[in-house]
A and B are shown apart, each in its own frame.
Chain A
């Protein structure tokens, strides 16, 4: 297993140290091949877990942090759950590496880009494979670092740097929660090891209050990393990074780390139903909130970013409803189609030389058939149209929501209707009707090279057929994924089991038809009627508020950023300089003043000194006599 995580690290070191001297292609392929190697190793683990008797693999290397009775070892642990993540990280990671060879080809810091990507894969693997929360935390912070480095990859642009910093800081807020959660676990149980904690939980060694507080704190960490309310605003800004980065980090892998953590510690959440409710509410609120924003965005990547936030919200909702498997299922399918969507948008942006505004696109399907088709397939998948993969995973989540709470279900269905609408708004505005860009751009329109389209095709295929992992029993499937994950999540999680097959079928039909209706509506509006989103600054009423993302960034700026900066200045100038240092200086000045006063005694008149001396001696003598007498 060490080899598995070391491969990307080796790639990072090669690219980081000597990458500049290598030809671009070599450096790119080194980066890709190490990830491919990791992918094959992951496959090996995956296949070994396919047999029913397979037990988790654990390897411990050395004691990392130990004090008193606490021993936190540096260990890796692989089971069914992590093997799935391994496949996504290395598999999709490899495709995106290959894609980047072409996409980033003209960049002067090509090898640095691959170094960072490799480093990201390394940390992501560490996150997934950590045998205790603290090793996971290394990866957790490490991917945050890579995200910082890659968002700010084009470091000459200061607004990109701001976005990178924002992402890192917001993640750190979540990390503080995670850290406190770890402290609490460590304090009350003495271990952070997943296996030991799990065993402890099953023996009743963790009481429900502890489980509640800890799981909420861990969820705070997940909120930061997986961009949920109230810490989601970094993700849309993170689109400043190169598009492959958005696809890899900010859609397929890193942002799902929160889901991974929650499923990994599901045994805690099972003990604390209240925590699950919190997760569900935050999730569903994020889902609908981000979906409404997505409807009014005009930047192709921003739409996808809000869609990611929204989909992640749905996954959290599923977890909150106790449907861990459904959430994992959606992570998998979402990784396929969202990576494909991002890479597709990258392909579009590439051919348009950096244009990201969908108001200036249109009609691209004529020039870019492959991109168009793959984009369409993925959009159908995310909209939840059968038989695309998203349909199965989304419906499982909806069913879980339905059996948990009807309100959740209603909001989730509205979200998926909105999702279908904004995704097809995107598809129609980008690929249909005539081209709205400049002559110059039109002249350069072309399909992307094979290095970019092949990953697109593979991902689109996965998005198309990924659903077979979890065809529900209601549709005559056997839901392979549920059985595969059973050792981790437990056989009898309450994921929509209360529902009869009939109800489930009805729910599916409702959701699919609603999504279809919303696509038709989008078609009529944007293709038939040629409606265009309003120009900058011409939005009216509620559309304006939503277009400006409900002014959340501005509110945060006003509530947190500005006061902290003002406080910083005030603390420095008023408190530190004026008050504290003033007090210290005052002490010095007081001494000086006293000195100035006392030195008057030194008149320089010798006679005066002598008299004072004589009087003092007399006084002392007198005092002694008086004492004795």
Chain B
């Protein structure tokens, strides 16, 4: 029941934000999202006490074809909902300190996005899941298209490409679902888990689902929509996309791909995992020489996510646990990085690193927060990403030593591009072209502080996440071994 409340609060909030008018919209949205965060925290608490009864909800919806309105959040699901509900208030807060056009629509769309995302993480009926999956695309399309920075004409092209690309990918998934329905007579997750598919079927069904997820995540070489979309979107859009939306893809792999077509996965893993690892090195390599701070973060995010996907496909406990931890870690870190970019943009109206430098001279607080987040994305121990990266790399090592070595290059290359960026943006002497740079104001600190706290909390005591995810991971592996 609680899960239904969490889901509907987001939807109601969206409507309320829209009704409340431009002046109040951000405050209403913030309030509702905080309320929802409290609800999600309650859910997390219940889940950590192994009480999942309130986290499942089922009602019959359409009898022919048999589609139920079924929501079930397992350990990973509730963690992802927690991530969503924790990030949305931060994203709202981050946007609210900058005035926008037509704010009520903007915040309504963000909350609507939240609604769709929670739906994706909770839905355990394939059809319902697919609806939420596609629904999530609509608000982000408008957010990115209408509120982005830079040239409108170019942005329209970029965002349209993103829309069509991801939508096209999803069609394969729809096809896969229809096929599964014809086989199983139901869209319910547990029926799909119990389905007996021949190896041939699994082999091609794998691609039907994988392409949809791979485009969303994105996995090399399906990523070309991503850097430009992140660059052209408003910061809130980039945060939503990279912080939460791409986790849809990874989460879906865990929930809808591995246990449903395990033999297909096993058959294609050698190819797919290599693609993921190529993405890791490739993304890191490209990030080194990027001059646009958002594009740099986009490529770094692409590299990190490649590692997560590789961990998922190792099909091992370490890999899966690591992917859960890293999804959460990456969510917070990338939001922090984009916010840092936004703060600089607000002050110097540019995302170009070549126009930055010497900011540390003016803004000690900003420097501290930015440094911590930079270091977290370099995966320094005691930050959240280290735990994830350690587990993921260990999972990949278990799969193949050479791949682990190649993927491990992220440790080195990550340091190269992140520190290079930090140095060129923050360090050095005062630039004559940038004689002033205001330090963080209260609202901006209010975004960074929780981020930093979470970074250390997850880094020092990841046990909580690991414990919560463990039964779910076991269940996935179990289902895959049927």
Contact = CB atoms under 8 A, between A and B. Distances in A.
Interface of A: 20, 62-68, 70, 74, 134, 137-138, 141-142, 145, 148, 152, 155-158, 161-162, 165, 168-169, 172-173, 175-176, 179-180, 183-184, 186-187, 564-565, 567-569, 571-572, 576, 580-581, 584-585, 588
B48 interface: no
B416 to A, nearest CB: 6
Contacts of B358: 156
Contact of B409 (A134, A176, A565, A576): A176
A141 B381 contact: yes
Contacts of B393: 179, 183
A584 B463 contact: no
20 contacts: A63-B463, A64-B461, A64-B462, A67-B317, A74-B460, A137-B381, A138-B381, A145-B380, A148-B419, A155-B360, A156-B429, A157-B429, A172-B411, A172-B415, A179-B390, A187-B398, A564-B288, A565-B288, A568-B288, A576-B224
Interface in B321-341: 321-322
Given A64-B463, A161-B428, A179-B393, 5 more contacts: A63-B463, A64-B460, A65-B466, A183-B404, A564-B288
B380 A568 contact: no
A134 B286 CA distance: 30
Given A161-B428, A572-B289, A584 B224 contact: yes
Chain B binding surface SS class: helix
Nearest to B375: A145
Contacts, number: 132
A175 B290 CA distance: 25
Interface in B289-330: 289-290, 317-318, 321-322
A66 B465 CA distance: 10
B224 A161 contact: no
Given A142-B381, A145-B380, A165-B420, A576 B391 contact: no
B403 to A, nearest CB: 12
A175 B463 CA distance: 24
A584 B161 contact: yes
A587 to B, nearest CB: 9
Interface in B362-407: 364, 375, 380-382, 386-387, 390-391, 393-394, 397-398, 401, 404-405
4 closest residue pairs by CB, A with B? A138-B381, A581-B224, A568-B289, A183-B397
Nearest to B419: A165
B470 interface: yes
A138 B382 contact: yes
B463 A67 contact: no
Residue of A152, A165, A184, A565 with most chain B CB atoms under a 10 A cut-off = A165
Contacts of A66: 463, 466
Nearest to B382: A138
Given A64-B462, A65-B390, A588-B161, A180 B427 contact: no
A180 B406 CA distance: 11
B415 A156 contact: no
Interface string B407-446: 0110110011001100100111110000000000000000
Contact of A67 (B165, B415, B420, B470): B470
Contact of B221 (A70, A152, A572, A580): A580
Given A142-B380, A155-B428, A571-B282, A176 B412 contact: yes
A196 B416 CA distance: 36
Interface of B: 161, 164-165, 221, 223-225, 227, 282, 285-290, 317-318, 321-322, 358, 360-361, 364, 375, 380-382, 386-387, 390-391, 393-394, 397-398, 401, 404-405, 408-409, 411-412, 415-416, 419-420, 423, 426-430, 460-463, 466, 470
Contacts of A141: 380-381, 386
B285 A65 contact: no
Contacts of A576: 224, 227, 286
Given A141-B380, A156-B429, A572-B286, A169 B321 contact: no
A176 B318 contact: no
A180 B289 contact: no
A584 B218 CA distance: 14
Contact of A180 (B287, B360, B397, B430): B397
Given A67-B321, A155-B427, A588-B161, A179 B461 contact: no
A176 B408 contact: yes
Nearest to A136: B381
Contacts of B386: 141
A155 B362 CA distance: 13
Contacts of B426: 155
Nearest to A63: B463
Contacts of A64: 460-463
A155 B462 CA distance: 34
A88 B201 CA distance: 65
A184 to B, nearest CB: 8
A351 B391 CA distance: 51
A234 B369 CA distance: 27
Contact of B285 (A63, A138, A142, A568): A568
Contacts of A173: 412
A152 B381 CA distance: 21
Contacts of A569: 289
Given A64-B462, A66-B466, A588-B164, A176 B419 contact: no
Contacts of A168: 415, 419
Contacts of B290: 572
A474 to B, nearest CB: 44
B387 A65 contact: yes
A581 B222 CA distance: 9
B93 to A, nearest CB: 23
Contacts of A161: 423, 427-428
A569 B358 CA distance: 25
Residue of B165, B221, B420 with most chain A CB atoms under a 10 A cut-off = B221
A581 B317 CA distance: 35
A155 B426 CA distance: 9
B263 to A, nearest CB: 23
Contacts of A138: 381-382
A554 B404 CA distance: 30
Contacts of B390: 65, 134, 179
A572 B415 CA distance: 19
Contacts of A580: 221, 223-224
B228 to A, nearest CB: 8
